[in-house]
Amino acid sequence: MVDTKVNLCGIELDNPVIPASGTFGYGYPFCRYYDINILGSFSFKGTTKDERFGNPTPRIAECKSGMINSIGLQNPGVEAVINRELPIIRRVFKKKVMANVSGFSVEEYVYTCEQLDKCDEIGWFELNVSCPNVHGGGMAFGVDPVNIYNVTKAVKDAVKKPVIVKLSPNVTDIKVMAKACEDAGADGLSLINCIMGMKIDIARRRPVIKNKMGGYSGDGIFPVAVRMVYEVAHTVKIPLVGMGGISSAEDVIEMMMAGATAVEIGTANLVNPYASKEIIEDLPRVMEKYRIEKLTDIIGACE
């Protein structure tokens, strides 16, 4: 009998599969398809201090081996998440969930995390540092090591729950950003977020996305994600959550061998609502095929 359990920042998961923020809502809509308690956990929709409508439409475009999105952090705000969404999650999901948090200043990150830190349903914070720092000239937190250090440290000083920082791949050297987060006290890192991409409507000679560019995700970025997880795993000592184009149990194994303790499934959930369930159910078969008794044995196994 194979063992699929892993430990992420002090919390044991039945398996390493976590649907990624932005692709799973607040979890409960997927209950119509299957019992979501099969999941290791899930990262709920990116949450900000205040309600946000998001970017103008169209903001999603299908493309080769994936999709481009520019949603713009549409969410009801942290107060509504606490009062409306978390009570529903509590009824349908019996495990800890990951709170994906965004902000446009250090103060916003801290405020939102402080509110969610009081909620028993939350197991970890996942800081989305791809937002522009409105107090720092508009540069995204995640592309400057000083900014990413400051926001990570401020949140760590303000909360009790583990803090995982979600790294952007749109940088010169992701290892520098990873080390800055570790130095600031981050409990873990998740990577990679979307790669910037663009799709043009050749009949109209205009970008398909209203904002012209957006985040490219899906199967096409998997090799890039594996490479970055491998590099970061050899740079820091804190656990990693790998993501980017994972769509099979074999992909999970490969990502864990690169150095990930757990994985997030993103675009695959939008293509097939059963994707995460099917990957979890197929994991034992793949483990037996490659003579893997315990998933913890293969974390970082690729030298």
Catalytic residues: 131
Alpha-carbon distances of 263 from 82, 240, 247, 251, 286, rounded to whole Å: 25, 8, 11, 10, 16
Closest CA to 252 of 279, 225, 292, 213: 279
**CA 75 to CA 73: how far, in whole Å?**
6
Distance CA 259, CA 192 (A): 13
Distances from the Cα of 240 to the Cα of 16, 91, 93, 188, 271, angstroms: 11, 29, 24, 6, 25
Q: Which of 256, 268, 270, 250 is nearest to 299 (CA)?
A: 256
